[in-house]
Chains A and B, each alone.
Chain A
Amino acid sequence: MRFLMALYEIFTNPQFYKLTLTAATPFIFASLGGVYSEITGVVNIALEGIMLMGAFFSIVFTFALGNPWIGVVAAIVIGLGMAWLHGWASIKWCGNQIVSGTALILLAQGVTGFLMEPIFGQPGQTDIVGRIPEFRIPGLANIPFIGDAIGTLSPLIYIAFGSVALTWFIIFKTKLGLRMRAVGENPEAADTLGVNVHMVRYFGVLMSGVMAALGGAFLSVGEVGNFRELMTGGRGFIALAAMILGNWNPVGAMWASLLFGFSEAFANQLQSSPLLHVSSNVKPLFNMFPFVVTLVVVAGFIGRTRPPAADGVPYEK
């Protein structure tokens, strides 16, 4: 009974929906990144590492220059750099894409951990250095309930949903998008028709870097205003699962990201519910929840989705 009352309280509170959107945003950005890359045929498990770099360098540049938006731009630049490395290894050198992705994750963990002390003078986590203020949409914010849920949010959340629309448009309504899909399905045929397979793949991989870095920047300057070591905590991989569940479609990936954001927000709200008195000792079990949901979803739905035919296969002329 008490549990049902707690559920009622959670679901009727507009704050819960705001938290769901907040938790979903890094997944949305990173899963769009996954879509960009894999639709052209390059598997990018480095999303986790690119997010971590984005989170770190947006804080570094905010710390140095005082403006969190400069931090976001810095994150994009570093994301492009990381993605270029992945593209260089997997497109130019036809390297093992999963191994290269793993390498970049380690590199990101190493670089961010290594630079903590020289830059911030302490390991572990930085002080709060500044975050992007929330943005209030005039008319929308005044509507009862809905206004509290979606009327005043971090501008990066609106940008995330805008990116979903933009990505859908690029992939399904432009010539470039058609080429991306062709290269991901059948690079030989695309090549025969004069499409530069390597260039198109570089575009996909670089865009995935931009998106994943934005997801990371949201975690730090968008949400909490500081950086903690390894703060991405597996979100890049949950985003990969969201991309798979969304059937490599930006809109599908968004819905899947919302599901994972929902499960994260739900686990958080449940353990802090005043009606349930959850002991802090069992918190690890609640933290497990989003990962269990992801595993079940990946195992249960995967047979019904289909990756691009040339996903993960290097192309040599």
Chain B
Amino acid sequence: MRSRLWAFLVPIVSVVIALLLASLVILFIGQNPITAYQALIRGAFGSKLSLATTIVKTTPLILTGLAVGFAFRAGLFNIGAEGQMIMGALVATTVGINMGSTPAVIAIPLTMLAGMAAGAGYAAIIGFLKAKTGAHEVVSSIMLNWIAEYFATYMVTVPLAVGMGTPKSPEIAPSAKLPPLLTVQATELTSGILVAILAAFVMYIILEKTTKGYEIKATGFNPYAAEYGGIKISQNIILAMAVSGALAGLAGSLEVMGVHHRFLGTLSGGKGFDGISIALIGQNHPIGIIFAALLMGSLRTGSNEMQFVGVPKHIIIIVQGIVIFLVAADRIVRTVLIRKRVKSQ
């Protein structure tokens, strides 16, 4: 019970400390942190429009957070959600463009699944290399991130290119677009948010209620003990990476189907990396991840408003860095405390 309380307290305290330290940084460049944070809150929740934008931004973050969190539960660090999201979005776009007059009942799930499959396949490479050759997943994921980014840039400047200006693909077929829940001015509140929340529940059920989920957690907790218990480690590593990649790929699909309706070079824009912060703040728990994604989504939306009062929006990245740093160190503070208690008994 006590450790549950800690799991809840550590991220909240970390976020508060990070916001306090960030206000010192804001003071350092001669701005008023109170004005800045007021602008942040106004920008994220101040109007119907900003609220809708916050939810739109939260949607992919829930999924990249789940992607990284799922891998963490299997003892893997998926720093490659960014690349998997790009590949998911790219393949979903390619499929979506070719949907023609296919009815939406088929076009929507097909486009969505195509993106998930692309993300899963791309992440499975990392799992395969880790399981078969021992290549560290951090190094191979980073390489695959860059490869995905350059590949996508190539795809929208040559084979899929359309129009002038920023490289972009043509629009996907109308039947592959996700219907908006409601429209606030020009911003469509995407129904993708429902898919994202559903994904969180599916992840919860897989991890807590199925044998496969137990095997994956056991692999993450202690691979040697798991192997001794008859669990195939390399199979579970590849599977866990594939599931993680499918979630990141789904984030890409939803961005294409519900928000941009096409592939843009800037589509991923660090959302895969945000997944790391979100998983850590949410303590790798699906429900925690939904709230952490909402936090990050509102920081991202609100930071645009902060720009207007003279605070560069990079402050959000600084906040994320401090939070992750504190979570990295604080987790251990917790285990040290628990260990001390054990020793004194």
> Using a CB–CB distance below 8 Å, which chain A residues touch chain B?
45, 85, 88-89, 93-96, 98-100, 102-111, 113-118, 123, 233-234, 237-238, 240-241, 244, 281-282, 284-285, 287-288, 291-292, 294-295, 298-300, 302-303, 314
Please determine whether A113 and B138 come into contact, CB atoms closer than 8 angstroms. no
Is B154 located at the chain interface by the 8 A CB criterion?
yes
Which A residues lie within 8 Å of B77 (CB)?
98-99
Which A residues lie within 8 Å of B206 (CB)?
none
Q: How far is the CA of A314 from the CA of B142 in the complex (A)?
A: 24
Please determine whether A300 and B133 come into contact, CB atoms closer than 8 angstroms. yes
Is B308 located at the chain interface by the 8 A CB criterion?
no
Q: Shortest beta-carbon distance, B272 to chain A, in Å? A: 12
Contact of A284 among B134, B154, B320, B327 (CB under 8 A): B154
Q: How far is the CA of A300 from the CA of B129 in the complex (A)?
A: 9
Question: B149-168: which have CB < 8 Å to A?
Answer: 150-151, 153-154, 157-158
Please determine whether A123 and B312 come into contact, CB atoms closer than 8 angstroms. yes
Q: Shortest beta-carbon distance, A280 to chain B, in Å? A: 9
Q: Shortest beta-carbon distance, A37 to chain B, in Å? A: 15
Query: Which of B59-67, B106-114, B226-234, B330-338 contacts the other chain?
Result: B330-338
Q: Shortest beta-carbon distance, B39 to chain A, in Å? A: 16
Contact of B321 among A106, A123, A238, A298 (CB under 8 A): A106
Q: Which of B143, B147, B150, B316 has the most CB of A within 10 A?
A: B143
> Using a CB–CB distance below 8 Å, which chain B residues touch chain A?
25, 29-30, 77, 79, 129, 133-136, 138-140, 142-147, 150-151, 153-154, 157-158, 273, 276-277, 280, 312, 314-325, 327-333, 335-336
Q: How far is the CA of A298 from the CA of B319 in the complex (A)?
A: 33
Q: How many A-B residue pairs have CB under 8 A?
A: 152
Please determine whether B314 and A96 come into contact, CB atoms closer than 8 angstroms. no
Which B residues lie within 8 Å of A298 (CB)?
129, 135-136, 139-140, 143
- Which 3 A-B pairs have CB atoms at the shortest separation, nearest pair first? A107-B321, A110-B317, A110-B318
Please determine whether B143 and A106 come into contact, CB atoms closer than 8 angstroms. no
Please determine whether B320 and A285 come into contact, CB atoms closer than 8 angstroms. no
Whose C-beta in chain A lies nearest to the C-beta of B158? A281
Which A residues lie within 8 Å of B316 (CB)?
110
Please determine whether B139 and A94 come into contact, CB atoms closer than 8 angstroms. no
Please determine whether B333 and A93 come into contact, CB atoms closer than 8 angstroms. yes
Whose C-beta in chain B lies nearest to the C-beta of A113? B314
Whose C-beta in chain B lies nearest to the C-beta of A109? B317
Which A residues lie within 8 Å of B324 (CB)?
99-100, 102-103, 106
A244-B136, A244-B139 provided; 20 other pairs, C-beta below 8 A? A89-B328, A95-B331, A98-B77, A99-B280, A102-B79, A103-B328, A107-B318, A107-B325, A109-B321, A110-B321, A114-B312, A114-B317, A237-B142, A281-B154, A284-B153, A284-B154, A295-B143, A295-B144, A298-B135, A303-B134
Q: Shortest beta-carbon distance, B322 to chain A, in Å? A: 7
Whose C-beta in chain A lies nearest to the C-beta of B153? A284
Q: How far is the CA of A107 from the CA of B273 in the complex (A)?
A: 13
Please determine whether A93 and B129 come into contact, CB atoms closer than 8 angstroms. no
Contact of A295 among B140, B314, B323 (CB under 8 A): B140
Q: How far is the CA of A273 from the CA of B150 in the complex (A)?
A: 20
Contact of A113 among B30, B276, B312 (CB under 8 A): B312
Please determine whether A96 and B331 come into contact, CB atoms closer than 8 angstroms. yes
Please determine whether B314 and A93 come into contact, CB atoms closer than 8 angstroms. no
Q: What are 10 of the A-B contact pairs (CB < 8 Å)?
A: A103-B328, A106-B317, A109-B314, A109-B317, A111-B318, A115-B29, A244-B136, A288-B147, A291-B147, A298-B140
Which B residues lie within 8 Å of A102 (CB)?
79, 276, 324
Please determine whether A114 and B135 come into contact, CB atoms closer than 8 angstroms. no
User: Are A45 and B138 CB-contacts (below 8 A) given A95-B332, A300-B133?
Assistant: yes
Please determine whether B328 and A100 come into contact, CB atoms closer than 8 angstroms. yes
Q: Which of A96, A103, A294 has the most CB of B within 10 A?
A: A103
Contact of B150 among A88, A99, A108, A284 (CB under 8 A): A284
Whose C-beta in chain A lies nearest to the C-beta of B323? A103
Please determine whether B25 and A95 come into contact, CB atoms closer than 8 angstroms. no
Which A residues lie within 8 Å of B332 (CB)?
93-96, 314
Q: How far is the CA of A263 from the CA of B147 in the complex (A)?
A: 15
Whose C-beta in chain B lies nearest to the C-beta of A99? B328
Q: How far is the CA of A88 from the CA of B332 in the complex (A)?
A: 12
Q: How far is the CA of A64 from the CA of B316 in the complex (A)?
A: 27
Which B residues lie within 8 Å of A238 (CB)?
143
Which A residues lie within 8 Å of B79 (CB)?
102
Q: Which of A99, A106, A115 has the most CB of B within 10 A?
A: A106
Which B residues lie within 8 Å of A294 (CB)?
139, 143
Q: Shortest beta-carbon distance, A60 to chain B, in Å? A: 13
Q: How far is the CA of A241 from the CA of B129 in the complex (A)?
A: 14
Please determine whether B312 and A116 come into contact, CB atoms closer than 8 angstroms. yes
Which B residues lie within 8 Å of A287 (CB)?
150
Please determine whether A110 and B327 come into contact, CB atoms closer than 8 angstroms. no
Please determine whether A110 and B315 come into contact, CB atoms closer than 8 angstroms. yes
Contact of B139 among A111, A241, A285, A292 (CB under 8 A): A241
Please determine whether A107 and B157 come into contact, CB atoms closer than 8 angstroms. no
Q: Shortest beta-carbon distance, B207 to chain A, in Å? A: 20
Q: How far is the CA of A1 from the CA of B233 in the complex (A)?
A: 49
Which A residues lie within 8 Å of B335 (CB)?
94
